[in-house]
Every structure is written in C-alpha cells, then in structure tokens.
Structure 1
C-alpha cells in the first residue's frame, strides 16, 4: 500500500510540474546544494537481448530519451572533473546538481546513449573495465546471463546454491532470478573460487565457452568508439582492468589490476585518467588500503555505489552515487526526495 501511495504522489508531482519546481525552490545559497551522481550500466531498446535486472542495470532507451532533457531543465549537470573540483576546492554547488555516469563500458553506451547525450550537449563519464574493451569478452555477471539465455536445459543443480536443489530454468523469469542469485552468491567468495564455480555452472548448463565469448555478439565498446566519445564531451574513468570484486582479490593483485587499467586508458587516450569507480560499489567491495592506493597513483576521485548525495563535506575518494531508476516520474520523485 505504501508503494502505491508513493507512486501516486510521484506521478502527481511530476506531471503537475511540482517536483521540478520544488527542486528549484529548494536551492540553497553559498554553494550549499547537494550533488547526485547517477549511475547507469546498459542502455537497451526493443531489439536488445537480456535478462531484465531492473533499470539500474538495464535502462530502456525510451526512458533515457525522456530523462536527459528533464535533467538538463531541472538541474545543473556537470562533468566528474567539475564535480571533484568543486568538492575539493570547497566551492560547492550553487544549484542542485547532477552528474551522469555509466559503469563497465557497454557498446550500447555508444550506439544508444551517446547520440542522446551529444544532441543535448550533456557531459557524462563512462568507467571502463579495460581488459574487455575492443574484445568479445564480457563481465562475469554478463557471462552468467549469456549462458542462461543460450542453454537448452530446463533445470540445473548447482552444489554451491540452494543446498544443491534442482532449479527450474525453463522460463525467462526463472533464468533472470537465477542469474541474480548466482551473481549475489559469487560476489561473496574469493575471486579464484568464483572463477571455478562459474566454470562449474557453464558445464552444468552445457554451454560452450565459444558461445559465451561469441565475437559476433560483441557487448562492450571498442577503442575507436571510446576515442570518438572522448573527443566529444565524454570523460573516461577506470573501472578496474578485469572487473573482479577487488576486496575478494589479494591486495597486491587488486592494486596491480587498478594500476593496469589506469595505464591502459592513459596509453590509449593520451591523457591523464583521473577517476576510478570500483566494481559493484558496496562498502564491502573495497578497502581503505585500496582507496589510499588510488590516491597514491594519481586518481582524483573514487566512486562507490553507496547511495546518497555529495557536497563540500564529502571525500572525493568515497563519492556516493544513486542508481538511475525509471520511468521518468519515478526518477523525478526519487531525486526530489534527495534535494527537498
């Protein structure tokens, strides 16, 4: 019932124009406003093939097309460079402010999101998992999704999940739920064990490695696309090299993974790479040692997926972000709550 009431309020405030008006009237003087860093992953359309995990992971183009002009009308949209400069200098934000970010480096960030951003002259930052760029590779969570979509099996037994009970995967909904459950379980174990259990799952699904790494099904950006966007208002940051849960990797290996990503980006783009976002983004996915290391090797910010706002009191090395929800009336309502 509470959700229905909330949704009705959000719809009414959005379509009446009140949510935008309330944000603008809530603006504070002397740089005391907050900044929200929105996080997206994939942008999908009706031709995309995926197991829908919600708008933070799979955000539909039709919603994105509506959101960008709304965000531009209602908020000050700044690049991550500007966000970090204003926090570090103590200048703050003279208006309620938004930054737009994407994690991982998906091809659809170029084919679907970039034309919208470019048309509206809106800056954004894409955090790249560099070992996957220009390859047919996929993040390990996407490998789970591809394997489940490809399998002909109607059920599966995974000893590491649900006490080895047989799990039905005959419907898209069952495959989506299992994809989420497996990823959640594997994020909690050492990375070496995670890799072994993935192979175990792929064998149980009877899906070959060449299907998971199908070069005709490229999911990630290539370097030409990255360079084109970098020349046209898109900032690039590091999202690690191999996209592990960094706290599940030995410290020296995690540091090397972060460093390698920064080096690859700087070599490819010929410019300093100032921003890092760690994979998955929870408190338990990172450490103070890794945060200090990011500062030591020259990053000026570290972004999490700890939800919340940022201001002059925030540390640039522990920036909060907020998942991009949809449809637009939901996004406008949720953003309004943070600013009003």
Structure 2
C-alpha cells in the first residue's frame, strides 16, 4: 500500500445499529477492523503520533483509532473486536457524564441520547490496553465559554481520568472540534496531543495540538478503507473537506453563534 508520511487518525462515536451520522453498526465496525488487519496496517496509539511524524514522517502507513464521547457501546461492540486483532485505541471521555447519557447542554436536539461508559468499564478497558483522553467535563464548545471555564473544563477532566485510572493523561479531543489560539494555549498547558475535527490525514507539519482526523462517516464504503492511503482516496477526502467547509461557512453566515454546535460530524 502506498504511503507518503501520512497517519490516518480514524474517528468513531457510537457503535450501534441506529444508522445515525454519529453511529457505525457493529457489523460494519468489525468489517473495517478486519480490513485494517488484512492490509497489514500498523495501528499505533495516539500518544505515538508526535514521534511518528517527527522529521520526514513515518516510514510506513499508520492508523490510529479514536472514539469521541465514550459511549457504552464501545465496551460492548468495539472492544472485543479490537482485542481480536490486537489493536489499541483512544477513547475521549466527557467526565461529568460517565455512567450517564450524552445529554450535555450543548447536545443538538436531533442527536439520540445513549448511555456512556461506566467507570468500572473504563477501568477494565484501560487494564486491557485501551487509552483514555479528555473530551472535557461537560462537552462545551470551548470557544464559547470564558477562559476560566475553559481552563477548568480541561484541567478537571484530565485530573478526573488520572485519579480514576492512576496514570497520566496527555491526550485531548476538542468538543465540536472547536479551538482557537487561546484554547490551544490552554490545551498546551495540560496535554501533548489534541485532536480536532479537521478532515484529513495527519502528516509532517501537522500541529500536534490540532491534529486532523478522518471521520468514519465518510469512509463507510469498504472499498474506501481498502484503498485508504491511495491518491484517489486522498482526493476524495479533499473533496469532502471542501464541501463540509463550504457548508460550515454557510451555517456561520446564517447563524454565527451556534453553527459549530450543530455540525453533526463533531
């Protein structure tokens, strides 16, 4: 398989059969993991990305698997498949809502409420090699809250996970992908890696505190995943990025306050 120093950081949310834009069916997830395994792609931890991108980039095609929000379905449907193939992953937790549902105040009305991981499940998965990062305390768009509140969202969520698991937390996913220079500086005080929702491959020159990812909504067709590092898929991702950015610009013009909160792939 061709490569050019890129890393595919895959983004999942819930693993269920609802068919929503934030869901991947258990059957499709299992098929996707089998494809990665059959292709011989190396799956690395998110904490290895900075080193892999150093200098001229990785000497092979690499994949990172991430899950946003910490849905309970990850434990039920995703973790057994990951174990089958010896893959690691990073799950980003909204710490005030662990053991509850994804009913945080900024959640769009049309997103179905589903249960999130219990701390007992998080500890079991951590012991089995899954890593956990911060998705803040309450999942706000950090650009829309005060600096003090943003700092608390980051610091308290990080410490909550560290206290629960007894190990340091270095990774973050910005809720709704939202960050600016101020939020980036706050993140840099607590984390070494932060993921955005910018659509693309991570590559040499990528900001480790604003890493691009590939939302699996756009890679549901198995053929796309089988050719993940081919130029044709890179062009397809570029087109989807252009279309999504155009939609966001229109939404920003129509509603400058809330457009990011209602971007369904975030």
Q: Is TM > 0.5 for Structure 1 vs Structure 2?
A: yes
The equivalent of 1:40 in structure 2 is: 12
Three-state SS of the structure 2 residue aligned to 1:68 is helix
The equivalent of 1:296 in structure 2 is: 189
Task: Provide the C-alpha distance between the structure 1 equivalents of 2:30 and 2:146, rounded to a whole number of angstroms.
Answer: 42
The equivalent of 1:185 in structure 2 is: none
> Of 221, 230, 237, which aligns to 1:327?
221
Runs of 4+, deviation exceeding 4 Å: 140-143
Contact (CA 8 Å) 1:126, 1:236: kept in 2 or not?
Answer: yes
**Structure 1: any 5+ residue segments left out of the alignment?**
1-23, 150-211, 213-217
Contact (CA 8 Å) 1:100, 1:124: kept in 2 or not?
Answer: yes
The equivalent of 2:48 in structure 1 is: 82
Does 2:137 match 1:241? yes
Give the structure-2-normalised TM-score. Answer: 0.80
> Of 253, 259, 265, which aligns to 2:149?
253
> Of 57, 72, 77, which aligns to 1:92?
57
Answer 1 or 2: higher relative contact order, Cα 8 Å, separation at least 6.
1
The equivalent of 1:309 in structure 2 is: 201
Three-state SS of the structure 2 residue aligned to 1:135 is coil
Q: Which structure's CA Rg is the greater one?
A: 1
C-alpha deviation, 1:254, in angstroms: 1.1
> Of 195, 211, 229, which aligns to 2:125?
229
CA RMSD of superposed structures (Å): 2.3
Does 2:83 match 1:122? no
Task: Provide the C-alpha distance between the structure 2 equivalents of 1:231 and 1:335, rounded to a whole number of angstroms.
Answer: 32
**Structure 2: any 5+ residue segments left out of the alignment?**
237-266
Give the structure-1-normalised TM-score. Answer: 0.63
Contact (CA 8 Å) 1:138, 1:220: kept in 2 or not?
Answer: no
Task: Provide the C-alpha distance between the structure 2 equivalents of 1:121 and 1:142, rounded to a whole number of angstroms.
Answer: 33
Contact (CA 8 Å) 1:240, 1:279: kept in 2 or not?
Answer: yes
Task: Give the total of aligned pairs.
Answer: 231
- Name the one with the larger helix percent: 1
C-alpha deviation, 1:136, in angstroms: 4.7
Change (3 A) 1:257 1:247: same
Contact (CA 8 Å) 2:99, 2:115: kept in 1 or not?
Answer: no
